[in-house]
Amino acid sequence: YTHHSILDIAVEMLRARGERLATKDKNAIVIKALHTSSDFPYLLADVANKILLPAYTAATPAYKAFAAKKPFNDFKAHKFLRIGDFPNLLQVGEGGEITHGTISESRETVTMASYGRILGVSRQMLINDDLSAFADMAGLIGRRVPAFENATVFALLAQNTRTGPTMADTYVLFDDTNHGNYTSSGTAVNLPVQVGLSAAKMMKQTGLDGLKLNLEPRILLVGPDNLMAADQVTTLVTPTETGKVNRLGPTLMRVADANVYLSG
């Protein structure tokens, strides 16, 4: 049925159910298929899903490069627990006593939300369709959904004048004083000063109990205005001068998205 129209499929289903078609009226055929065959509406939904899924899968929104997917079973507030570090070791005393320690913890609250829209499929659409309009509509949905997901993530990060949402510790996500992960100097990706400063801040990050994490960046996320500068940072070249060596370049993956500067 690859090259069959919606009307052709309706005729085939009616005949398979023993219906006698004494008319070639397209409107009458569609109405009969919708009202006398419960399989036809399900078939339309199945066709739409088969077209929608590849379009959704082919989309590569930028947020997937750095975000994790967490399944929820309900709409209750879910607690994401973060465990601290094992306490630092202390010298065992002469009597063999070992000092007790504690492990810190923190948690963030996340609540799932539902989003959706409805578009009606009219008889006229089915009658006039040769599968292209129906396929195009499903394809539009497949492109809109990941674009909406992407914009929603970046809108969250752009809260509080692009410093991110307020966390459980009452500070915003990007806070240099309390989180040590933000700098406001400069408006462009400078090679290598700005990226070097950010990498240094990342390496200085500590766990809840002060353990040095020694993190190194893997993604350089930029907006359209810094696309060229980001490519200069991440492109592997062989410099002729020691002062122009870019150690981070080979390890960074450049991710660009127009939503970076559209929100907040």
The answer on pLDDT for 84 being more than 80 is yes
The full DSSP string for 114-170 is ---------HHHHHH-SSHHHHHHHHHHHHHHHHHHHHHHHHHHTHHHHT--B-TTS
Asked whether 56 and 83 are in contact (CB, 8 A), the reply is no
Find the angle CA(185)-CA(189)-CA(194) to the nearest 5 degrees. Answer: 50
Higher pLDDT, 93 or 127: 93
Q: Kindly indicate the confidence band of residue 63, based on its pLDDT and cuts at 50, 70 and 90.
A: very high
Question: How far apart (Å, rounded) are the C-alpha atoms in residues 6 and 121?
Answer: 12
Instruction: Please give the pLDDT value at position 189.
Output: 62
SS3 111: strand
| pTM score over 0.85 | no
The answer on pLDDT for 217 being more than 80 is yes
Closest CA to 29 of 14, 45, 46: 14
Instruction: Please give the pLDDT value at position 226.
Output: 86
The answer on pLDDT for 133 being more than 90 is no
The answer on pLDDT for 98 being more than 80 is yes
Q: Kindly indicate the confidence band of residue 214, based on its pLDDT and cuts at 50, 70 and 90.
A: very high
Higher pLDDT, 59 or 190: 59
Question: How far apart (Å, rounded) are the C-alpha atoms in residues 225 and 256?
Answer: 10
Q: How many residues does the chain have?
A: 264
Q: What is the mean pLDDT of the chain?
A: 83
The answer on pLDDT for 26 being more than 80 is no
| DSSP label at residue 215 | -
Question: How far apart (Å, rounded) are the C-alpha atoms in residues 236 and 228?
Answer: 14
SS3 43: helix
| The two structure tokens encoding residue 234 | 């991440």
Tokens 């490519």 sit at which residue?
Answer: 231
Asked whether 147 and 115 are in contact (CB, 8 A), the reply is no
Closest CA to 108 of 63, 78, 71, 67: 78
Pick the range with the lowest mean pLDDT from 3-7, 59-63, 225-229, 238-242: 3-7
The answer on pLDDT for 264 being more than 50 is no
Instruction: Please give the pLDDT value at position 215.
Output: 93
Instruction: Please give the pLDDT value at position 107.
Output: 86
The answer on pLDDT for 66 being more than 70 is yes
pLDDT in tens, 146-186: 999 999 999 999 999 889 999 989 999 999 999 999 887 65
Instruction: Please give the pLDDT value at position 23.
Output: 66
Pick the range with the lowest mean pLDDT from 61-70, 74-83, 147-156, 239-248: 239-248
Instruction: Please give the pLDDT value at position 131.
Output: 58
Instruction: Please give the pLDDT value at position 12.
Output: 79
Q: Kindly indicate the confidence band of residue 91, based on its pLDDT and cuts at 50, 70 and 90.
A: confident
Instruction: Please give the pLDDT value at position 191.
Output: 60
What number is the average pLDDT over the span 247-251?
A: 80
Question: How far apart (Å, rounded) are the C-alpha atoms in residues 157 and 155?
Answer: 5
What number is the average pLDDT over the span 83-97?
A: 84
Instruction: Please give the pLDDT value at position 9.
Output: 78
